[in-house]
Amino acid sequence: MEIYQRRIKLPAFARGCHLITSTILNQLPELRALDAGTLHCFLLHTSASLSINENADPDVREDLEMALNTIAPENLDYTHTIEGVDDMPAHVKSTLVGCSLLIPIMKGSLVLGTWQGIYLCEHRDQATERSIMLTAMGIRHGE
């Protein structure tokens, strides 16, 4: 059993949903050595989230952002407002979407459906860089 772990940093993204599948794969090349296993992605933030969703049509990203803004609008009577009007809705969205993913690995590749990709969902207007802890565990080729 091999374990590869790396904390990666993503640049600040605009508010919305951003495909990061290739970034994750480029930042953890050791994953290609695994014949079978899992990749755990854990976002170290409370105002963004991780999701697996449609990766082909960019309209999906816009619609996800619109739907999340409808579910957690900025104009509710939030108590936690010291960090701006977008902060508490960002926490709600992060809670709903989640901060971690577990993805199977087979023959050195992530097992994602034909139209699936990994998203960073940025919920803040003035975002900062984001950190993700990646942990790949599995059996190496030939073991």
Q: Residue 19 is which amino acid?
A: L
CA distance 48 to 99: 8
- 88, pLDDT greater than 90: yes
- 142, pLDDT greater than 90: no
Share above pLDDT 90 across residues of the chain, in percent, rounded to a whole number: 98
Give 82's DSSP letter.
T
Which pair of structure tokens corresponds to residue 8? 């990666």
CA distance 98 to 107: 27
**SS3 category, 112:** coil
Share above pLDDT 70 across residues of the chain, in percent, rounded to a whole number: 99
pLDDT tens digits for 15-57? 999 999 999 999 999 999 999 999 999 999 999 999 999 999 9
Cβ atoms within 10 A of the Cβ of 79, count?
Answer: 6
CATH number of 2-140: 2.60.120.460
* pLDDT at 143 (0 to 100): 65
